[in-house]
Amino acid sequence: MTDTLDPKITAAPANAGSDQDVSRPPQPTPAVVQPPALKRRVPKVSDLAPLMQFKKPEFSKTARLRRASTIWELRDMAKRRTPQAPFDYTDGAAEEEITLRRARRAFQDIEFRPGILRDVSKIDLRTDILGKESRLPFGIAPTGFTRMMQSEGEYAGSQAAEAAGIPYTLSTMGTASIEDVATAAPNGRNWFQLYLWTDRDRSLELIERAAKAGNDTLMVTVDTAVAGARLRDVRNGMTIPPALTIKTVLDASYRPAWWFNFLTHEPLTFASLSRYTGTVADLINSMFDPTLTYEDLDWLRETWKGKLVVKGIQTVEDARRVVDHGADGIILSNHGGRQLDRAPIPFHLLPEVTTALKADNSDAEVILDTGIMSGADIVAALALGADFALIGRAYLYGLMAGGREGVDRTIQILEKDMTRTMALLGVSKVSDLNPDHVRLLQR
């Protein structure tokens, strides 16, 4: 039997079962009311006036330096204002410059581990280093031929360090004498860096001069048995003093201020010798002693009555050994990558060295240099166990960018970086930094 539909029954509407009454027509969508602030209008002069605050262009050195917010920006300024040979002497490293790139990358390959809900309204960057307080946890490293980078040279560095309350280190190859630096910064904390010469009498003379001038720390560098292959210097024909070749004359035409300063100030002289002409490598190879042993370190310890630190430590074993031979501190350093390319990276070495010295119950202080280009780099080093840091290139970039004011700006940038980084980490003083604040990432 087949069922049939009643013709009176019609199909249910498509919206059957809905709440909508099919007998009512669709209701119009309510119009969206636009907020008054989004309605277009002709701008009023009174509205534009506060926005039109045009400043008078500033071209002074002070204004130019103030615009630099990072050390990298100071480096850019330095490159524009300095002839290629002295800039490359500062900026370059040995051979393929692998070590320098790795050192800088080491600081990039970290992760900070911040703490929250800490009172960081006041950040205290003071620390004690080698028996005295430093207002900031870094100082200025020894750099050679510094007046060649900019005519104010070591005078700018030492005076800026004095004003900032941090140590300044004069190099054996500095272009200002020990006595002149002491006179320029009489209230500063001055250290002296020593290369031991084959002529021990000359070395002893330097040590005595440093002590008489009030230097409280002697820093002996031990990683220069021979000169590294600094290929930029070779390609530039770098000599001391710079030679006036066709290339340098052309280069000078773009940087007249540097040459004017260089030619109108006293010729370069050195902390350790009165005059020298030739390449940097020839100077190192002819004067510095490749036969140094730990017996020489013992001799220094007996001779020097102040604090003694050894610069150029690149293994845990050597760190332990120099402390056993009387060093008050060590500087983890590969000479800024300027000696042995593919050398150990100080930042990578830092945790092993601090762990080893603690295991020996040593109170020797650990200082780090190489690769530092920001205050965050310094904070990371302190967190991983360094007691202090030294800046070399970073300070020289500021010097080349603007003399004494440029060095001041370098210090200001690093201090501001450190203050901000520590506040964001939830740390209010240097002594509270610890390895929990940093994690080393793997590439």
Q: For residue 333, which amino acid is it? A: S
Please tell me whether the overall predicted TM-score, pTM, comes out greater than 0.95 for this model. no
* pLDDT tens-place values along the chain, 443 residues long: 444 444 444 444 545 444 555 567 777 777 778 888 888 888 787 777 777 777 777 778 899 999 999 999 999 999 999 999 899 999 999 999 999 999 999 999 999 999 999 999 999 999 999 999 999 999 999 998 899 899 999 999 999 999 999 999 999 989 999 999 999 999 999 999 998 877 788 889 999 999 999 999 999 999 987 888 888 888 887 766 566 567 766 776 778 888 788 888 887 766 655 555 556 666 666 666 778 889 999 999 999 999 999 999 999 999 999 999 999 999 999 999 999 999 999 999 999 999 999 999 999 999 999 999 999 999 999 999 999 999 999 999 999 999 999 999 999 999 999 999 999 999 999 999 999 999 999 87
Whether the CB-CB separation of 328 and 309 falls below 8 Å is answered with: yes
What is the DSSP-derived secondary structure letter of residue 195?
A: P
Which residue from 230, 220, 229, 213 is spatially nearest to 197, judged by alpha carbons? 220
Question: Helices 375-383 and 346-359, interaxial angle, to 10°?
Answer: 30
DSSP letter at 271 equals S
Which amino acid is present at 259?
W
CA distance 95 to 186: 39
- Catalytic annotation, residues: 335
